[in-house]
Amino acid sequence: MTQTGAERAKDVARNLVELLTAYEEELMGLERDTPAVGPLRRAVGMAIAEACYCISDEPVDQAARWTPPASGRMD
């Protein structure tokens, strides 16, 4: 069984959230001692938020409706 592009994107986003969460936690600890780490921690948090948006409860078929048609025509 092959995955659609949207399903694959959700899988990749889930993996990204799992990976980046550990980094964000570590950066939060570092930020207490080194406030200059704050912008990096916020950037990692934004990446996590974007990935979570990608894997939101919106069904894959509904997400596909948001993509423009391949022909470029809007019927």
Q: What is the pLDDT of residue 31?
A: 95
Sequential DSSP letters for 6-41: HHHHHHHHHHHHHHHHHHHHHHHHHHHH-GGGHHHH
Q: What is the pLDDT of residue 15?
A: 92
Per-residue pLDDT of the chain (75 residues; tens, 9 = 90+): 466 888 888 899 999 999 999 999 999 999 999 999 999 999 999 999 999 888 885 665 555 555 556 665 655
DSSP state letter for 68: P
Q: What is the pLDDT of residue 1?
A: 45
- Distant-in-sequence, close-in-space partners of 68: CB < 8 Å, separation ≥ 6: 74
Q: What is the pLDDT of residue 64?
A: 55
The tokens describing 32, both together, are 């207490």
Buried b (16+ CB within 10 A) or exposed e, 21-34: eeebeebeeebeee
Q: What is the pLDDT of residue 4?
A: 81
